[in-house]
Amino acid sequence: MGNVRTARLSTSMPARAAIVMNPRTDQSGSLMKIDISQRAVKRLKEIQLKDSNANLALRITVESGGCHGFKYTISLSDTFDEEEDTVFEEGGAKVVMDEPSLGLLKDSTIDYTTELIGSQFKIVNNPHATSSCGCGTSFDIKSL
């Protein structure tokens, strides 16, 4: 499957990630999914290689705070909580989220952006975000 994905022309084209642990459904009963862009996959694989830890995953947590109510915190993690965490995998790269965070980030894309001020993982195209602040780490959502 990984071979098919790498054959894509655009490297930033997102792909729907496979759920390898704790698939969860939202209130309407549909499966909560995310996309991981090829750039993000590439970068995550590099990090795994550098730390020689194939279990290393990108942990994305949503906390309250920031100027718009919710903010993302992104960290690396190689331990998963059996109860709370949902793990996504795309081409060997893993992304892990707890349930409340996934509820707010479902159908978003995890991307790795390279800009003049620095390169970073970013959550883009969150369909539930209504507004976000200047720095882009804080956002508001439609009322649940």
Partner 1 sequence: MPVRIPCIWIPHPRLGRRYCSLAAAPPRPPPIGIANISGPRQIIEIHGRDAAKFLQGLTTRDIPMLSDSRGAYSAFLNAQGKVLYDVFIYPTNHNHRWRTQVEAKNFQPIGRPPIKKGPAVDDPGFFIECDVRSADALLSHIRRYKLSSKFDSRIIPRGEWDMWTIWDDHRLLLPDPNEIGCTDTRAPNLGKRVAVFGGRKLGVEVDFTVYNVRRILLGVPEGQDEILNGGNIAQESNMDYMGGVDFRKGCYVGQELTIRTHHTGVVRKRVLPIQLYRSGDPAPERLTYDPNLNLAPLLHGKDPNISNLSGKRRPAGKFLRGVGNIGLALCRLEVMTNLEVGGKREDKTVPEFKLDAEGDELRVKAFVPGWHMLGNATAFRRAPITASEID
Contact indicator for 87, 80 with CB cutoff of 8 Å: yes
Q: Is 140 helix (H, G, I), strand (E, B) or coil?
A: strand
For 34, 49, 53, 77, the CA distances from 56, given in Å and listed in that order, are 18, 9, 6, 6
Does 24 bind partner 1 (CB under 8 A)? Our answer is no
CB of 64 to partner 1, least distance (A): 4
Task: CB nearer to partner 1: give 107 or 140.
Answer: 140
- Which distant-in-sequence residues (6+ apart) come within 8 Å of 112 by Cβ? 37, 39, 40, 42, 43, 44, 119, 120, 121, 122
Cα–Cα dist 81/98, whole Å: 9
Which residues partner with 66 through β-bridges?
Answer: none
Interface region with partner 1, contact rule CB under 8 A, candidates 14-22, 34-42, 52-60, 131-139 = 131-139
Does 27 bind partner 1 (CB under 8 A)? Our answer is no
Interface region with partner 1, contact rule CB under 8 A, candidates 25-33, 36-44, 65-73, 117-125 = 65-73
Does 138 bind partner 1 (CB under 8 A)? Our answer is yes
Which residues partner with 25 through β-bridges?
Answer: 31
Does 134 bind partner 1 (CB under 8 A)? Our answer is yes
Does 108 bind partner 1 (CB under 8 A)? Our answer is no
Pick from 87, 104, 105, 110: which binds partner 1 (CB under 8 A)? Answer: 104
Contact positions vs partner 1 (CB under 8 A): 61-71, 84, 98-101, 104, 131, 133-134, 138, 140, 143-144
